[in-house]
Amino acid sequence: MVESFNDESLRAESSQLAPNSTASRVADTLRARIIDGDLLPGAKLSQERVQDALGVSRSTLREALQLLVRERLLTHELGRGVFVRQLTMHDISDLYRVRRIVECAALQRVEVIKPAGLRALVAAVEDGEAAVAERNWDQVAAASIRFHEALVALAGSGRLDTLITEVLAEFRLAYAFMRDTQAFHTRFLGRHTDIAEAVRSDDLDSAAALLDTYLQEAERAVLASYRPQVSGGRQRPSVLRQ
Amino acid sequence: MVESFNDESLRAESSQLAPNSTASRVADTLRARIIDGDLLPGAKLSQERVQDALGVSRSTLREALQLLVRERLLTHELGRGVFVRQLTMHDISDLYRVRRIVECAALQRVEVIKPAGLRALVAAVEDGEAAVAERNWDQVAAASIRFHEALVALAGSGRLDTLITEVLAEFRLAYAFMRDTQAFHTRFLGRHTDIAEAVRSDDLDSAAALLDTYLQEAERAVLASYRPQVSGGRQRPSVLRQ
DNA sequence: GCATATTTGTCCGTATGTATA
DNA sequence: CTATACATACGGACAAATATG
């Protein structure tokens, strides 16, 4: 049994400022496992074994699992358990449609561009370029997501921010089955610069148009390199990868 | 207030087709309580009392409460418990901004209007008019929400549907503190007809424009008649300072 | 198709920590 | 400051559903 979970980080009451419950912290580590590719889509999360590995009670674990189900990172089948969600190609297409609608509309509705918003946008672009230089592709992906969050944040709606954050988080599941992620990210990183430049010169309609075609091409690229492992039609009961 | 819960409806295994867990059913009844105004924003949901009233265990109840917290109908304060969420005026404004962005953009992105989609739209309008005739204002509000869901559904994105459904559900919390809801709903019901007519004649840009001004005026109307009661029994000291 | 073993769903007792009177 | 109430978390128990042979 893989014992790579770090339960000390869970039980340690690290900071009194953290208002997080134990379940939230368990959800955090599980989320990180999924993003890092330790838990592949389709994998089952057996309550007994995960609870052993994480050192929390089953009640707490179930609470954490439920959080991730609501985030759409896990699916829940009554009586069978929870599994890492597997995106279909249709799911991915749908997610991109949502992004085109929400992100572009948010851009076009921006009233005033606050300096802080522009700074966050530029910072995300620069983070992405730095990550490319270091060939750290996970960090490139993270910076890309931050870029799109910064774009939407220009609209100044906190509710819209959380909304798009949830949608973007689902894309992590798509990356798990993309084989040439480095090619993908390097190919589209330049677009971020173009869009940021259009935003800087206050040409939001151009920025929205650039974003729209960018998302269309990205969708095609993702779908073209998406190879979901069907695992022979049967889901493996193995809890932790291997 | 909590004593009037009906636990029979919970334990009854109503339909074998329902893949719902007990927690889901508990969440359903609590959600209905909130929508019906039995549980007002700011009210505390004591685990002990609610569990007695509903006849379920703490574990199950906590699971149900967590569901509603994720739905933003309840708020959770660590160590204090869960409360029915209280919308501030800023919250309402923000929600309307999200609706203007998402609903209008969804309309403008519609490619083909499917007959079923148009039918759902018309049905929601007719349901609303019938409910007005019966002076059943709760039903008018429900029909209004279905109308907007049907509008967004024209875009053909399932993910966008669930997204806007969650946003619209939050408005139930606003209705709780609006006193002249009948005036509000009758005033804006005619707009539904106009928008549906524009959609029927394939003039989606006009429909989006009508929708935009409609949402702006509705926001003003809601804010004007929004009188949040600071619930007497339970104050929210909300110690967020450090 | 049946019998068995495993896992989940649910409930309960209890201990500890935290907030409030 | 103490006391009380309550939320958080743990662990064990059992029935029901599911998976396995």
- Tens digits of residue pLDDT in B125-140: 999 999 999 999 889 9
Cα dihedral across residues A150, A151, A153, A156: positive or negative: positive
Cβ burial, residue B65 (10 Å; 0-12/13-18/19+): buried
Tell me: the pLDDT tens digits for A217-242?
A: 999 999 999 998 765 334 444 333 32
What is the mean pLDDT of the segment spanning A110-129? 96
Confidence of residue B84 (pLDDT cuts 50, 70, 90): very high
DSSP annotation of A240 reads S
Name the token pair of B14: 């109503």
How confident is the model at residue B20, as a pLDDT?
A: 64
Q: How far, in Å, CA of A42 to CA of A83, rounded?
A: 6
How confident is the model at residue B182, as a pLDDT?
A: 86
Q: Taking CB atoms and an 8 Å cut-off, how many pairs form between chains A and B?
A: 79
What H or E segment, with its residue span, contains residue A84? strand A81-84
Is the CB of residue A79 inside 7 Å of nucleic acid strand C?
A: yes
What is the mean pLDDT of the segment spanning A1-10? 37
For B30-43, b where at least 16 C-beta lie within 10 A, e where not — what string? bbebbbeeebbbbb
Confidence of residue B56 (pLDDT cuts 50, 70, 90): confident
Tell me: the pLDDT tens digits for A136-151?
A: 988 999 999 999 999 9
Specify the pTM.
0.88
What H or E segment, with its residue span, contains residue A99? helix A89-108
Q: At residue A131, does pLDDT exceed 60?
A: yes
Q: How far, in Å, CA of B166 to CA of A51, rounded?
A: 31
Query: DSSP letters along chain B, please?
Result: -GGG--SHHHHS---TT----HHHHHHHHHHHHHHTTSS-TT-EE-HHHHHHHHT--HHHHHHHHHHHHHTTSEEEETTTEEEE----HHHHHHHHHHHHHHHHHHHHT--S--HHHHHHHHHHHHHHHHHHHTT-HHHHHHHHHHHHHHHHHTT--HHHHHHHHHHHHHHHHHHTTBS-HHHHHHHHHHHHHHHHHHHHTT-HHHHHHHHHHHHHHHHHHHHHTB-----SS---------
What is the mean pLDDT of the segment spanning B89-102? 97
DSSP annotation of A3 reads -
Q: Which region among A46-55, A93-102, B118-127, B212-221 has the lowest average model confidence (pLDDT)?
A: A46-55
Nearest CA in chain B to A157: B94
B82: which nucleotide lies closest, measuring CA to C1'?
D7
Phi first, then psi, for residue B210 (nearest 5°) are: -60, -45
Q: How far, in Å, CA of B62 to CA of A210, rounded?
A: 46
Q: What strands, in cross-sheet order, belong to the sheet with A44-45?
A: A44-45, A81-84, A74-77
How confident is the model at residue B153, as a pLDDT?
A: 98
Nearest CA in chain A to B95: A159
Q: Which region among A56-60, B33-37, B104-108 has the lowest average model confidence (pLDDT)?
A: B33-37
Residue in this structure with the two tokens 């708020």, named with its chain if needed: B75
Taking CB atoms and an 8 Å limit, are B109 and A95 in contact across chains? no
How confident is the model at residue A29, as a pLDDT?
A: 94
Q: At residue B18, does pLDDT exceed 70?
A: no
B231: left (phi over 0), alpha (psi -120 to 50) or beta: beta
Residues of chain A with C-beta less than 8 angstroms from the C-beta of B91: 159
Q: Which region among A191-195, B13-17, B49-53 has the lowest average model confidence (pLDDT)?
A: B13-17
Q: Which amino acid is at A92?
A: I
Q: How far, in Å, CA of A38 to CA of A83, rounded?
A: 13
Q: How far, in Å, CA of B128 to CA of B195, rounded?
A: 14
Per the CB < 8 A criterion, the answer to whether B195 and B207 are in contact is yes
Nearest CA in chain A to B160: A98
Is the CB of residue A60 inside 7 Å of nucleic acid strand D?
A: yes
Distant-in-sequence, close-in-space partners of B145: CB < 8 Å, separation ≥ 6:
B168, B169, B171
Tell me: the pLDDT tens digits for B184-201?
A: 988 899 999 999 999 999
Q: How far, in Å, CA of A118 to CA of A124, rounded?
A: 10
Q: At residue A11, does pLDDT exceed 50?
A: no
Confidence of residue B12 (pLDDT cuts 50, 70, 90): very low
Tell me: the pLDDT tens digits for B199-219?
A: 999 999 999 999 999 999 999
Whole-number distance in Å between A13 CA and D9 C1': 14
Is the CB of residue B80 inside 7 Å of nucleic acid strand D?
A: yes
Report chain A residues touching chain B, CB-CB < 8 A.
17, 19-21, 59, 62-63, 66-67, 70, 78, 91, 94-95, 97-98, 100-102, 104-106, 109, 155-160, 163, 167
In Å, how far is A133's CA from the nearest CA of chain B? 35
Per the CB < 8 A criterion, the answer to whether B149 and B157 are in contact is no
Residue A104 CB coordination number (10 Å): 24
What is the mean pLDDT of the segment spanning B6-12? 39
Residue A231 CB coordination number (10 Å): 13
Phi first, then psi, for residue A201 (nearest 5°) are: -90, 20
